[in-house]
Amino acid sequence: MTGVAARIVVERRDVDVALEVGAEECVAVIGPNGAGKSTVVEALAGLLPIDAGQVVLGSTVVADHSRTVPAHRRRIGLVAQRPDLFPFLDVIGNVAFGPRSAGVRRAAARTRALRALTAVGADGLADRAPDTLSGGQAQRVAIARALATDPAVLLLDEPTSALDVAARDEVRAALRTAIAGRPSLLVTHDPVEVVALADRVVVVEHGRIVEEGTPAAVLGRPTTAFAAAFSGLALVRGTATPGGIAAGGGGELVSGTHAVPPGRPALGAFHPTAARLTRDGAGPVRTVTSLEPRDGLVRVRAGDLVADLTLARVTALGIGPGDAVHVDVPASELAVYAPRG
């Protein structure tokens, strides 16, 4: 089995995305709201026809411009934001529902359901009613329900976004079991989820793929503004110098050694908490354009640079929009690299 090979064109949504998922690979799809991520999931699942391209699962073409194989015949396992368990069935009945719908006999379906529940550490919940489960327990049951159908492909659409922080860890552990040995596509807004589960990351914006690579490459050395924001980094575009990068707003940020030939386009990435902002200092003056609350800190935007400061530090500096400041980044905190592609 080769996993997934698809080109998904949906004209009314202005989406044209081509992607592949290896036989034992988990690919994370990230991007801003409205970028086209849900369109990709719906097309792969058989819930949305495509206008052009094709969807190949394994060696079978399940969609092209002229036909669409129904969702129930695609062997797709879908885990969405909410478990949506049947309230009139107990847990094992919910998990056995898929195999039973496919014609598996009752006893065999229950055996398969118990095996799936055991795989995600939820076998002790088999006789429980759905309304007695916590959010994390219910989502693990939903994962087991997807596994019980022996899916050829697993689609994970924001599988932990509706859970509290404590429940996310247990659900991620269940997801790691679920994706092992099968092609999986993960749509998420959670960078921890990407690091924990994905082998590769695809960034989608405005219905197109704009960046892709390993989690280490995309999250550690992003080339798009979205990927940088997703990973919590600040991104600077400029020109490589022998010791760093000449930023677009003027001045040089020093990084030490790097592999980009001087004079070539370069990117610089750093975490905003590492930036040093002062009223007086060396280098070019930048003008504060905004102050934004950010996870207990204040994000100060000054030209093409940003710095995350404590409220006490901002107060002590007495800065506001329009003020002149100097921003520097320690060389050890700055990565300079060439744009990909």
Question: What's the chain's average pLDDT?
Answer: 94
Are residues 100 and 16 part of one domain?
A: yes
Q: Final residue of a domain: which of 180, 198, 220?
A: 220
The answer to whether residue 226 sits within a structural domain is: no
**pLDDT at residue 132, as a whole number:** 97
Report whether 307 contacts 327 (CB < 8 A): yes
pLDDT above 90 as % of the chain: 87
| pLDDT tens readout for residues 225-248 | 999 999 999 999 999 999 999 988
Q: Please check whether residues 162 and 289 belong to one and the same domain.
A: no
Q: Encode pLDDT of 99-124 as tens digits.
A: 999 899 999 999 999 999 999 999 99
CATH code at position 275: 2.40.50.100
CA distances from 192 to 14, 26, 94, 160, 165 (A): 29, 14, 29, 11, 11
pLDDT (average), residues 207-223: 96
**CB-CB contact of 128 with 144 (8 Å):** no
Predicted confidence at residue 32, as pLDDT, reads: 96
pLDDT on residue 249: 76
Q: Is the pLDDT of residue 93 over 90?
A: yes
Structural domain contains residue 333? yes
- Within this chain, do residues 118 and 155 fall inside the same structural domain, yes or no? yes
Summarize pLDDT for 303-326 with one digit per residue, the tens.
Answer: 889 999 999 999 999 999 999 999
> Same domain for 205 and 247?
no
- Position with higher pLDDT, 162 vs 218: 218
What is residue 341's predicted lDDT score, i.e. its pLDDT? Answer: 66
Angle at 327 between CA 325 and CA 329, to 5 degrees: 170
**176/237 same-domain check:** no
227 is a domain residue: no
* pLDDT, tens digit (0-9, with 9 covering 90-100), for 71-88: 888 989 999 999 999 999
Mean pLDDT within 169-180: 93
pLDDT at 145 over 90: yes
Q: Report if residue 225 sits inside a domain.
A: no
Q: Are residues 89 and 141 in the same domain?
A: yes
The verdict on residue 228 lying in a domain is: no
Regarding whether 95 and 24 lie in a shared domain, the answer is yes
**Higher pLDDT residue, 202 or 294?**
202
- At 282 the pLDDT is 74
Q: Is 207 among the domain residues?
A: yes
- Which of 220, 249, 270 is a domain's end point? 220
- 246 and 117 in one domain? no
184 and 86 in one domain? yes
Average pLDDT over residues 185-208: 96
Instruction: Please say which residue of 220, 255, 290 terminates a domain.
Output: 220
Residue-wise DSSP of 13-43: GTEEEEEEE-TT-EEEEE--TTSSHHHHHHH
Here the CATH number for the domain that contains residue 80 is 3.40.50.300
* pLDDT per position as a tens digit, 245-264: 998 878 899 998 899 999 99
62 with 178, same domain: the answer is yes
Domain match, 44 and 154 both:
yes
**pLDDT > 70? residue 1:** no
pLDDT reading at 96 higher than 80: yes
Q: How many domains does the chain have?
A: 2
User: Is residue 188 located within the same domain as residue 291?
Assistant: no
Domain that holds residue 333: 233-337
pLDDT of 165 higher than 90: no
pLDDT single digits (tens) 266-299 = 999 999 999 999 998 777 899 999 999 988 999 9
Dist CA 236 CA 249 (whole Å):
9
